[in-house]
Amino acid sequence: MVAKPAKEAQQFAPAEGFIGRIPIKNLWLLMLYASELFRAFGTGNVAFEDDAEDLPDLVAKILAHAVETRQRRRLSSGYRSREASLNRLRGRIDALTTERHQLLDRGLVACRFDELTIDTPRNRYVRAALESVSTLVRSADVSHRCRSLAKGFQVMGVSGEAPTRSQMSVIRFGRNDAEDRFMVAAAKLALDLSLPTETSGSNVLSLPDREATWVRDLFEKAVGGFYSVVLKPQGWHVKCGGKQAWQVEHKTAGIKGILPVMETDVVLNHLSSGRRVVIDTKFTDIVTNSRFRKTVPSRHLYQIYAYLRSQVGSGDASADSASGLLLHPAINQDVDETAVIQGHPIRFATVDLTASHSDIRARLMKLTDPFHT
């Protein structure tokens, strides 16, 4: 996606782009569901999903409001290491540098010390998000507001290079950082919306390997994030990215090293009813051509079957009657079939990533209907 000048922001229509054959506006929706910001706002803020093209504007307004709130209460600060030649001792003396440059003859000493500053990776990340989202929004006023706040960061001294995503991933928040956590969550979503685009591909989900991996991971996180928010008020507990153990009764010394790990994508538990749904997301066609007919890939069925049957008899009543859901993203395809296999309902379903936002949300909700109390 080629960034437009800020003055043209109100004329920019980024939701017309595609990655493969997936509309950018629907990737934005997945980013929203996968974000911490969606978890923080909860189900009461459905305006998030009402208008795809206004999503960047809404996120920009949330980010701007969070930044303005933090500025009124002073931006958080942190320590950074510095080296300087001073006329007084501060921190530790760098004896080698002091001697090499004969600083003592000039009444100076080389020091290494930690300095309190607001030019932290966290604040630089937010400044970069303000600059980035200002080129995406349709409203000239919102664009100007974001650019002004970014400029204000620089005036206050937040002028360093923006940290990478990997650098931000290691930053931890303390108990007093709740406001910063919300601001950074909004900044992350704002930066995510600025993804590069391609022209529409000719094949279903036709993406380069790098983009395909990225969208696959995004879809998994979006499904988990969506259910974490919308099902919680109904008494469901949602676990994303869990592991299940094999019920091994007798084992040799080296078996632990060769048994595969069972990692589930999303598990839904309804505590009062004891119901459990194991969701496995895929990024392939839900059916493939065999010699005589189209079938679900056998490895996918074996995988969800192993997730369900391997936990039976473990003393967990929810596991004995757990349901499975194989969930695939699709392009202009509608599959929703169920089979009960050895007491476990297993559902095979698709979510059409070319559908409207309201249809995608309705589809995800429909897939949980049999499991509601």
Token pair recorded at residue 354: 């070319």
Is residue 2 very low, low, confident or very high in pLDDT (cuts 50, 70, 90)? very low
pLDDT reported for residue 198: 41
Can you read off the two tokens belonging to residue 38? 């969606």
What average pLDDT does this structure show over 190-197? Answer: 74
Cβ neighbours for 329, distance < 8 A, ≥ 6 positions apart? 205, 215, 219, 283, 350, 351, 353
- Write down the pLDDT at residue 197: 41
What tens digit of pLDDT does each residue of 265-286 get? 999 999 899 999 999 999 888 8
Q: What is the pLDDT of residues 104-150, one digit of tens each?
A: 999 999 999 999 999 999 999 999 999 999 998 989 999 999 999 99
The per-residue pLDDT of the chain, averaged, comes to: 84
Give the integer Cα–Cα distance in Å for 79 and 323.
50
Where residue 241 falls (left for φ over 0; alpha for ψ -120 to 50; beta otherwise) is left
Please give the share of the chain, as a percent, with pLDDT higher than 90. Answer: 55
Q: Report the chain's terminal Cα–Cα distance, integer Å.
A: 45
Q: Domains of the chain by range and CATH?
A: 6-75+122-192 (no CATH), 78-117 (no CATH), 209-371 (3.40.1350)
Mean pLDDT of 285-307: 85
What are 231-266's pLDDT values in tens digits?
Answer: 988 899 999 989 999 999 889 999 989 999 999 999
Buried b / exposed e along 179-207 (16+ C-beta atoms within 10 A) = ebebbbbbbbbbbbbbbebeeebeeebbb
What tens digit of pLDDT does each residue of 11-64 get?
333 445 777 778 888 888 898 899 988 887 654 444 555 555 678 898 999 999
What's residue 9's pLDDT? Answer: 37
Alpha-carbon distance of 20 to 203, in angstroms, equals 8
Instruction: Taking residues 362-369, report their average pLDDT.
Output: 90
